[in-house]
C-alpha cells in the first residue's frame, strides 16, 4: 500500500462523498490523509493552501463543475493526479477530462474494489510523476544549454570529446589527454571547446561529475565516499568541497532534502 499520501474527495452529494471517504479510510487504516470538499470552489481554496497527491472529483456539480476545478488547478506547482467520476456515460466529458491530464474516468455507482484498485494505481502514478519532476529539477541548467547546442550540431571532434567524458567520468580525465586522442593541439582544443559548448572544458567536466553524483545520491544508498570515487574524485573531502560550491549544500544534505521532499 502507498503510505502517507493526501487524497481529496470532491462531490456535492454528501452520501457519495462520505461513502468514498469511509471506503478509503478503511483501506488506508490511518496511513494516508483522506480529506473532503463539497464543492469545486472549496476544493480550489483547499488546494491553494495544502498540496494533495490525488484529487477525486465528480464531474457535474452546481456552479463550478469538476472540469472547471481541474482547469483552475492546472497552473498549481503541486498539482495532484486526478480521477473523475460521473453518473453519466458522457464521452465528451471523458474526452475533455483526458485532455486536462485526468488519469481515470469512473462511472457511478462506483464499485468499492474498482475504486481501491484505481486509487492505488493513481497514487503509484503520482509517485512516478514526482520522481520524474525531481530528476528534471536536478539537471544542471548549464548542461541543458550544452544539450541544446548539441541538437544544433556540434563539431564532430567536440561531440567525440563529450562522449569520451561521459564514458570516463569515474577516471582521471585531462584536457590534454582528450586533445591528444583527437590529434589536436591542447590550446586549439580549449578554444574550440568553449566556442562550441559555451563553458570551458574543466567546468564542463566538473558539472558532469556533480550531475552524475546527484543522480547517485537520489537513486542509490551508496555512501558519499563511494559516490565520490564513482564520479572521478580521489578523496571524498575534495568531492564535498566541489559539490558544495556548485549546489550550495553538502552531498548528504542534498540527499536528505530531496528524500524529505519526496516523502511528503
Question: What confidence tens digit (pLDDT) does each residue in 125-164 have?
Answer: 998 888 888 888 889 999 998 888 776 778 899 999 999 9
What is residue 262's predicted lDDT score, i.e. its pLDDT? 62
CA distances from 149 to 61, 172, 181, 196, 199 (A): 49, 26, 23, 8, 12
* CB contact at 8 A, 70 and 102: yes
**Strands of 81-86's sheet in order across:** 33-37, 6-10, 54-58, 81-86, 104-107
Q: What is the pLDDT of residues 241-253, one digit of tens each?
A: 999 999 999 999 9
76 three-state secondary structure: coil
How much is the average pLDDT of 110-127?
A: 93
- Helical segments of the chain, H only: 14-28, 40-49, 66-72, 91-99, 112-138, 141-151, 156-167, 175-181, 186-197, 201-219, 224-230, 236-247, 251-262
Q: Is 95 exposed, middle or buried (CB count within 10 Å of its CB: 0-12, 13-18, 19+)?
A: exposed
Structural domains in the chain plus CATH codes: 6-131 (3.40.50.2300), 139-262 (1.10.10.60)
Q: How far apart are CA 53 and CA 51, in angstroms?
A: 7
Residue with more model confidence, 175 or 127: 175
What is residue 148's predicted lDDT score, i.e. its pLDDT? 83
Q: How far apart are CA 121 and CA 226, in angstroms?
A: 35
Q: How far apart are CA 58 and CA 87, in angstroms?
A: 9
Q: What is the pLDDT of residues 64-98, one digit of tens each?
A: 988 899 999 998 988 999 999 887 766 677 777 77
How much is the average pLDDT of 184-202?
A: 95
* DSSP element (H, E) containing 10: strand 6-10
What is residue 205's predicted lDDT score, i.e. its pLDDT? 97
The yes-or-no verdict on residue 111 having pLDDT over 70 is yes
Model pTM?
0.72
Amino acid at each position: 500500500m502507498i503510505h502517507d499520501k493526501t487524497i481529496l474527495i470532491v462531490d456535492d452529494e454528501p452520501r457519495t462523498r462520505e461513502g468514498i471517504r469511509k471506503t478509503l479510510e478503511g483501506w488506508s487504516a490511518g496511513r494516508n490523509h483522506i480529506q473532503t470538499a463539497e464543492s469545486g470552489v472549496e476544493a480550489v481554496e483547499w488546494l491553494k493552501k495544502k498540496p494533495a497527491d490525488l484529487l477525486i472529483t465528480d464531474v457535474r456539480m452546481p456552479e463550478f463543475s469538476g472540469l472547471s476545478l481541474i482547469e483552475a488547478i492546472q497552473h498549481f506547482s503541486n498539482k495532484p493526479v486526478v480521477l473523475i467520476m460521473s453518473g453519466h456515460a458522457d464521452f465528451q466529458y471523458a474526452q475533455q477530462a483526458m485532455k486536462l491530464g485526468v488519469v481515470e474516468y469512473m462511472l457511478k455507482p462506483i464499485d468499492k474494489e474498482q475504486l481501491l484498485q484505481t486509487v492505488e494505481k493513481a497514487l503509484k502514478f503520482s509517485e512516478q510523476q514526482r520522481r520524474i519532476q525531481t530528476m528534471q529539477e536536478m539537471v544542471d541548467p548549464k548542461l541543458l544549454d550544452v544539450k541544446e547546442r548539441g541538437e544544433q550540431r556540434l563539431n564532430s571532434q567536440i561531440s567525440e570529446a563529450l562522449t569520451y567524458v561521459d564514458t570516463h567520468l569515474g577516471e582521471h580525465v585531462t584536457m590534454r589527454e582528450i586533445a591528444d586522442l583527437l590529434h589536436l593541439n591542447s590550446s586549439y582544443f580549449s578554444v574550440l571547446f568553449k566556442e562550441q559548448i559555451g563553458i570551458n572544458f574543466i567546468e564542463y567536466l566538473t558539472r558532469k561529475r556533480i550531475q552524475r553524483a546527484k543522480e547517485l545520491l537520489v537513486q542509490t544508498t551508496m555512501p558519499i565516499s563511494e559516490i565520490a570515487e564513482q564520479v572521478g574524485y580521489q578523496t571524498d573531502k575534495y568531492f564535498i568541497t566541489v559539490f558544495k560550491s556548485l549546489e550550495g549544500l553538502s552531498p548528504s544534505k542534498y540527499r536528505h532534502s530531496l528524500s524529505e521532499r519526496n516523502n511528503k
